[in-house]
Structures are given as structure tokens and as C-alpha cells.
Structure 1
Amino acid sequence: MVEVMLRVLVVAAALVLVGCSSESESGSAETGASPPEHSTDDSLQDVQRYPDVIDVRVESSGGTYSFEVTVSSPYDTPERYADGWRVVGPDGTVYGEHTLAHDHANEQPFTRTQSGVDVPDDVDEVTIEGRDSEYGYGGSTMTVPLPDG
């Protein structure tokens, strides 16, 4: 909550600087401030760069895992949307990737499942990372323990 409030203040300060700064000959003003990479505040949805993974459920079956992943991306449109997620081990190894073929603008947040993900026996937790069709991987992630199989 404090992080979101700080990001709102940064954006508000940037807007004030833009409004108070004089325009250059080309007609543009520069502030030096950059917008936050993502935010859950609806008023800032146009500056959110990445989807957020907000829930993950894991099941073990026959030596593989199924991941039920809930993603939030309030900026989703046909032009730009959350287009997938990946399952990553503690050492950075990618064990599975799930690709989404279209936006989920009318279904936020949304949940999809990926089955048959093979993870070595010595790995006891994984991190789920969301992907944006324009900016790639980023945003809030979730690290989850793997159930015994």
C-alpha cells in the first residue's frame, strides 16, 4: 500500500513539473521523472508496464505439476495485453511457459491453467512471472512451494 502511495506521489510530482516547466522550441517539456513500471491504482493504469501475478495454485499429478495462475492486467486491449507467464526455478531455469493468444480486457483478473510442467525432484519452490506483449516479463511475481508428488 505504501509503495502504491509513493508511486502515486511520484506521478503527481511529475505531472506538476510538466505543467510548471516551460516548453522548449520543439514544443515539448522534459521533467526527468519516469513513471512507475506498474501500479494497481486504476487512475494509473495507463502507466502500468507489466501484468501482476496475484494468485497461484499448484497440484502434483503423475510426476508433473499443474499451475492455476491468476493474472491482473488492467490495461489489456487487443493492441497490448498480458500474453503469458512462465514457471521459473530458484536458479533461473524456466520449466514451463504458458502463452495467451488474446487479451482478457473484459475478464480482469483472469485465471488460466497450465498442466504437465516437469520440475526436477530437488526443486521445492518456483516463481511465476507474468509477461506483457509489449514489454516482456515483469510485474509482481509469486513464489510458491511445490507439493509432494
Structure 2
Amino acid sequence: MRSIFTLVMCGFLLMPSSPLLAGEADVIDVKVVKVDADVYRFSVTVRHTDEGWDHYADRWDILDMDGNNLGSRVLMHPHEDEQPFTRSKTLSLPMQVKKVRIRAHDKVHGVGGAEVVVIIPQ
């Protein structure tokens, strides 16, 4: 009986639709370019094993070092055939912000994957 249970559980874990396989969304690269006095363009590369409309990376956030959300880029659809993928957002930052943290979010796990900290160019 125990071996049947083990086989069933292994089969469940290997199913392509299992949210366990997709994991959390990871930020793997960030480029920041100053475009005006306090305006910056963030190009963020995210990796996530998107599995259709029910489980995909649906947002990334720019946070100050205290955890305050300075801006988000909403991702409107899965990127199953484009991994990793890069999307940009232009954002005005308060002048006192010298460093930010970028995190990604997915529809099943929320936040929790790899994050990147970047220094804001002057």
C-alpha cells in the first residue's frame, strides 16, 4: 500500500499543471537608465515557468529599501513561449531614493522569488 501511495504522489508532483513546478517568479536582471531629472526607465527581466492564465508572472514591483512600493508594472498575459522576458516601465522617483529593490509576483505564489537591488544612477 505504501508503494502505491508513493507512486501516486510522485506522479502528482510530475504533472505539468502542478503549481509546484512553476515555482515563484524570479527577477534575474534589472537595467536602470536616467531619462530626466528624477525620471528613470527600468527594464526588468523575469523568469517564471508560466502555465497559462491561472499561473503566470503577472506583475513586478519597484520598492524603496523600507519596502514602500514606488511603482509596479502589470503583466497582462502569460509568457509561456518567451522565457525569460523583459518589460520596461518609466517612473519618477523621490530624490532621496538612492537604491531600490525589484521583486516579481505570480498569480499562485504571490511574491517570494529572487529579487534584485539596484543603485539609482545620478
TM-score, normalised via structure 1 length: 0.66
Give the 5 Å matches for 1:29-44: none
Which residue is 1:141 aligned to?
Answer: 115
Query: 2: distance between equivalents of 1:50 and 1:111?
Result: 17
Query: 2: distance between equivalents of 1:72 and 1:131?
Result: 11
CA drift of 1:45 comes to 8.0
Give the 5 Å matches for 1:117-132: 117-132=91-106
Once superposed, what is the RMSD of the aligned Cα atoms?
2.5
Give the 5 Å matches for 1:1-149: 19=6, 46-62=20-36, 63-115=38-90, 117-148=91-122
Larger RCO, structure (CA 8 Å, separation 6 or more): 2
Letter in 1 for 2:58: D
Query: 2: distance between equivalents of 1:133 and 1:45?
Result: 10
Secondary structure class of the residue paired with 1:101:
coil
Query: 2: distance between equivalents of 1:51 and 1:76?
Result: 12
Query: 2: distance between equivalents of 1:45 and 1:72?
Result: 15
Return the index of the structure with the highest Cα Rg.
1
Secondary structure class of the residue paired with 1:19:
helix
Which residue is 1:13 aligned to?
Answer: none
Secondary structure class of the residue paired with 1:104:
coil
Normalized per residue, which structure has more strand?
2
- Identity across the alignment (%): 33
Q: How many residues align?
A: 111
Q: Is the 8 A contact 2:27 2:113 kept in 1?
A: yes
